[in-house]
Structure 1
């Protein structure tokens, strides 16, 4: 897949490297062009009306232009790019160098003439999107009023240009070394409350009927990225926007439906003392996508520019293109002006699939039956069906026959009505094509992901297949089945994940209606467990060894870890990926080693608390904070504080000390009490070591105040 930060400019074309294959590259032209035929003549026709044509809007029609644009490399640039890339990779890979195709997810092509209204342009037609295969061909049709027709004819000749095209393409790419997340939260809420009241008291009744309705829609998108040192800020900004676009794309698919408000009874009957109606409807959606180097995200590619004028082009023989070959002036009385024309194309990848060719048949029941037959072997091919209009209907009937590679099977689609531009998509061709991509699988946490796919056609034998992704095999894989019928049913798939430990997490079956499947990591959450040592790790406890275990029995998922705690390291945080943040059980066991050589076992214990305390059980803790704010550091080099905690049992006496220096955070002191009834007092004394080499000590202070404020030394007279 295209690696977005492996970019360079060659012959005016942006060239990207592949995330895994050093000999595979992707070239992205900076500017769209006219699509040309085999002789390099532009697919362009302009018809100008000799007399103005009245329109229902009151305007008068003056001209009609049809042409195709494309977003593709020309042959000269392709040769130059491949030659330069072969030099870069060296002799070992030169023979393997090739240009791949970007996996396009969506796209649009926009004509500047669409925004020019009034006297210049009446209307612009184009399909919903470019082909997304091959050269991303987009056919355009432009109708102009009389004034605009004259301007267009003159402006398309000579140097310069008037037609500007901007593509907005979204392709799947691999990210550089960057992490981040995109979060979406949506709340849709509807409520209705009605209170009707009749006081039914003495005299005239007073009646009230109050109704209130509330509608709340809240959608929040949060995006955060973290990049390493030296990352290109422009690339990071685009990645941030790409994550936002990916989140919005997912959110749009999940939150397309609006929730209903109250539609029930609101009436109030007479002689009812009170009526209360209350209704609420809420829908919440919340998800997070985590971004890493393995993540595939949508990336914008926006080639745009001004198309060259027809008369500045040359054909394959080097001869200038003549305006007269692409222009006709038509008499309004000609029956042509009761005609219509529709582009016909096949939106499928013929180069890498089961489809060899498609034969399309289009017919229109005019004064006589008008038919058109077309043979397609490339997605870049666009044909045109034209006929006189009978009455007000421009509806045609179309059918097609699909011929497959290496098979005698032929699929004949039944005739169907259609109006407007005709595009036969890959799902209509009797072929089930599925592209499976590894998405954001992290192969440090997942050893392999096995994807099982199944499809049950209306007739014929159900199909089933598998693909496996590993650290070594992490490229997208394409599966194709010949079903010889229109694909109109969902695909079922499930993912089984094999962990580095060998255990397997089995996924559930999921139904989708997509051609591309992005397999994500099973771990959407991270669980954290803190292990803290308690007790006297300075004088009594040598070390604490803790065995930790997390088990999600429902999914057969287990994680283990070991922590060793001592006086130098009395804290450990264990973070591990989980399938369900609320599922699974944490257990721990271990042993405590004492400085006198004895050992005590810690039995296996289930913990629901994110913080686990291990060591000597304590009934209380005296946590002492030393505050040196009053110390005159201009005369004092350092202060040593000695603290003693006396309990009722002399054997449990605890003595600790701390050294306090200027501009350093004083260490924390903690006394652990084994007896819940033990007194909470302790004593302390401080020794001041002065810059002149002398020292001075304070008197012992016994206190229950855990904030020890070191005093300023009295000035020596």
Structure 2
């Protein structure tokens, strides 16, 4: 497998070494280029309309640029690099009697990727659209077809720009492949929490009209109904916290600063993906139904809260297989700079066509067809594609046979009644089998038809070791199952990986598109005689890497609940993880407090889908009392421990009725005691000429029925006198202040 710290540049080309074979190398081409066909000509065409096409939306088309791009080295350049690598190997064996091994150029296994043209971001005045039917082929020459639709002015501009000998079109590949890490240790961690709450207070009071107004209405007429007063207040609060980081220990690794920076970039990109996923996982807004006031209530208080936590803690170590990003990019060599097989420069007019749109023949359907499958590695003999166009008096039928991915055929037909839909089906013929797979008939108006490898009815999976340590693991038994077969008879295969047999390839004809994931289960036989088995997992990847049995990490998040400021001193928690099926356990002890309310416990696990968490502990209160947390077993990854608060009640003190022309200062004392739940809360609120706005006091209720609190007030008047409201009990949520009479 490619090892990232074994890197060098030869003839402007980046070359990586293998993690285990000194003579195996992997070459990453320096820049993309136009695909060269069997006639040694570039796969490139430019079409310009003599007259623009009028469209319904008022826009106009002017031309097409069609090309295939590949990421590969010319044969002569690859041979030159190979010779220099062989010279390096020969030099290493110069003083040895051992025959130097022959250099081998390995194929990089790409897991995913994309390719883009720079013209995709050019002004819409030039480019109508860019069509790319998907990802690069991810094997061989990494072919990617592009079609660019141009406006009228864009066609004229590109016709001149593409003949510039300096080049104009740039291509950037974004590829990912599995690599072996160098002798480092890395930790990528990220935590996020989201919280939002909705608080609602509602009162409804019937107010009498008063005696004087009643007499007046009795004498002179009028209604004497009571008046209804409704007060409603709502508060919404939301908070979001994110924290994370990257820790890399390079140890004694003596790589260049450039390679070390690539490792940092890989780690930061992994962290960025975690942040992106957390930001997409949002809390649902409170609905109008949740905010609705119940019928027939006069006093109502509601608090709704919701939380979300994200915990990611990934550790990587030496020789572990990770996904690495390669991004070769650059300018495509202009057509006029390339030469034919006789050494003559190519001519622009041989690749450009001007079309007269007034010609009736222009109204034709022309669909390029290709098969994106590796005929050499897969048991495919050929793929037959049948196309039909039937409309009016036109009945066009064509069939094509494909035997390699470089074959490009075209289905052509005249168009009638502006009807562009056509139908097709394909048949896959397998090597050494009489049974074939025939697809259903499909109707489409796609301008490009590609039969992808997943559509050919072949399940192709390569099973290979990831970061297995053969000094610890004697062998790994892999059971692979695929059930989505037309016969409903599942395919089941078992493979054994050991130090001598490090790769198995599954190539199974299923006679249907591979549309569902396969399932796999691994059982490890350790060198010390122990056996571990992990749960069944699913995957769609054509490359299945079997990693170390302790490669999985489990994270348990402990969160303190309760009033850490006034009530709780410390929460001591003993946590234990048990995987009974594999006879494996881990344990730890944690102390949570006001300064450390969160703790994430990360430990290696054999199977991240198995095992239970058991915890118990004690709560040390600030009044020196101790409470016990009973032993509890859970499968949750986030555990709240402490003292649960049933409800938070907010008391509002209103100074609106105070006359500060005669008042200097008002002090309001509030107290709440719930001896059964060890709650003793007190506070004082001060109002003066500079502080006349309402103030609030929040009560933590553990018993909703114990909602009586005490309050009293002292008023200091400007004439030097004092007036007092004696201490009294009330459950009211609002206290309007008045200066009492002397």
With normalisation by structure 1, the TM-score equals 0.68
Q: Does 1:304 align with 2:310?
A: no
Other-structure match for 1:417: 443
Other-structure match for 1:122: 128
Q: Which runs of structure 2 are paired with 1:85-96 in the superposition (5 Å)? A: 85-90=85-90, 96=102
Q: Does 1:226 align with 2:226?
A: no
Asked if 2 retains the 8 angstrom alpha-carbon contact of 1:503 and 1:557, the reply is no
Asked if 1 retains the 8 angstrom alpha-carbon contact of 2:3 and 2:180, the reply is yes
Other-structure match for 1:468: 496
Over 3 Å counting, the alpha-carbon distance change for 1:464 and 1:270 in structure 2 is closer
SS at match of 2:549: coil
Unmatched runs of 5 consecutive residues or more in structure 2 = 209-225, 556-575, 587-601, 615-742
Q: Does 1:236 align with 2:255?
A: no
SS at match of 1:414: coil
Other-structure match for 1:356: 381
Over 3 Å counting, the alpha-carbon distance change for 1:503 and 1:269 in structure 2 is closer
Q: Does 1:407 align with 2:433?
A: yes
Asked if 2 retains the 8 angstrom alpha-carbon contact of 1:551 and 1:557, the reply is no
CA-to-aligned-CA distance 1:318-347 (integer Å, 9 cap, x gap): 233222221111112123554555543333
Other-structure match for 2:231: 208
Over 3 Å counting, the alpha-carbon distance change for 1:394 and 1:459 in structure 2 is same
SS at match of 1:555: helix
Q: Determine the C-alpha separation between the residues in 2 that align with 1:342 and 1:249.
A: 38
Q: Which runs of structure 2 are paired with 1:552-567 in the superposition (5 Å)? A: 554-557=580-583
Other-structure match for 2:355: 330
Other-structure match for 2:404: 378
Asked if 2 retains the 8 angstrom alpha-carbon contact of 1:553 and 1:584, the reply is no
Q: Does 1:519 align with 2:546?
A: yes
Aligned residue-pair number: 550
Shift of 1:31: 0.6
CA-to-aligned-CA distance 1:40-84 (integer Å, 9 cap, x gap): 111111111112322445343322221111111212112223333
State the superposition RMSD in angstroms.
Answer: 3.6
Q: Does 1:503 align with 2:509?
A: no
Q: 2:161 aligns with which of 137, 147, 155?
A: 155
Asked if 2 retains the 8 angstrom alpha-carbon contact of 1:366 and 1:388, the reply is no
Other-structure match for 1:39: 39
Q: Which runs of structure 2 are paired with 1:213-612 in the superposition (5 Å)? A: 213=236, 221-229=244-252, 230-246=254-270, 260-263=284-287, 265=289, 266-268=291-293, 271-275=296-300, 279-335=304-360, 337-339=362-364, 341-367=366-392, 368-387=394-413, 394-420=420-446, 421-460=448-487, 461-471=489-499, 473=501, 475=502, 477-523=504-550, 524=552, 554-557=580-583, 578-579=605-606
Q: Determine the C-alpha separation between the residues in 2 that align with 1:350 and 1:357.
A: 8
Shift of 1:510: 2.1
Q: Determine the C-alpha separation between the residues in 2 that align with 1:195 and 1:364.
A: 69
Over 3 Å counting, the alpha-carbon distance change for 1:270 and 1:577 in structure 2 is closer
Q: 2:177 aligns with which of 171, 178, 181?
A: 171
Other-structure match for 1:134: 140
Q: Does 1:183 align with 2:211?
A: no
SS at match of 1:198: strand
With normalisation by structure 2, the TM-score equals 0.66
SS at match of 1:153: helix
Unmatched runs of 5 consecutive residues or more in structure 1 = 528-549, 561-574, 586-717
Tell me whether 250-259 or 310-319 shows the greater mean CA deviation: 250-259
Shift of 1:165: 1.4
Over 3 Å counting, the alpha-carbon distance change for 1:304 and 1:580 in structure 2 is closer
Over 3 Å counting, the alpha-carbon distance change for 1:317 and 1:279 in structure 2 is farther
Tell me whether 9-18 or 392-401 shows the greater mean CA deviation: 392-401
Other-structure match for 2:220: none
Over 3 Å counting, the alpha-carbon distance change for 1:579 and 1:143 in structure 2 is closer
Asked if 2 retains the 8 angstrom alpha-carbon contact of 1:137 and 1:380, the reply is no
Over 3 Å counting, the alpha-carbon distance change for 1:170 and 1:578 in structure 2 is closer
Tell me whether 120-129 or 365-374 shows the greater mean CA deviation: 365-374
Q: Determine the C-alpha separation between the residues in 1 that align with 2:274 and 2:479.
A: 23
Over 3 Å counting, the alpha-carbon distance change for 1:508 and 1:72 in structure 2 is same
Asked if 2 retains the 8 angstrom alpha-carbon contact of 1:525 and 1:577, the reply is yes
Over 3 Å counting, the alpha-carbon distance change for 1:521 and 1:55 in structure 2 is same
CA-to-aligned-CA distance 1:220-273 (integer Å, 9 cap, x gap): 553221113322222122122223434655787899665544446244465422
Q: Determine the C-alpha separation between the residues in 2 that align with 1:204 and 1:289.
A: 65
Other-structure match for 1:112: 118
Tell me whether 488-497 or 508-517 shows the greater mean CA deviation: 508-517
Asked if 1 retains the 8 angstrom alpha-carbon contact of 2:465 and 2:545, the reply is yes
Over 3 Å counting, the alpha-carbon distance change for 1:385 and 1:432 in structure 2 is same
Tell me whether 43-52 or 216-225 shows the greater mean CA deviation: 216-225
Other-structure match for 1:198: 204
Asked if 2 retains the 8 angstrom alpha-carbon contact of 1:432 and 1:482, the reply is yes
Shift of 1:96: 5.0
Shift of 1:35: 0.8
Other-structure match for 1:543: none
Other-structure match for 2:106: 100
Asked if 2 retains the 8 angstrom alpha-carbon contact of 1:340 and 1:386, the reply is yes
Over 3 Å counting, the alpha-carbon distance change for 1:129 and 1:397 in structure 2 is same
Asked if 2 retains the 8 angstrom alpha-carbon contact of 1:30 and 1:304, the reply is yes
Shift of 1:29: 0.7
Shift of 1:210: 4.3
SS at match of 2:374: coil
Asked if 1 retains the 8 angstrom alpha-carbon contact of 2:32 and 2:329, the reply is yes
SS at match of 1:48: strand
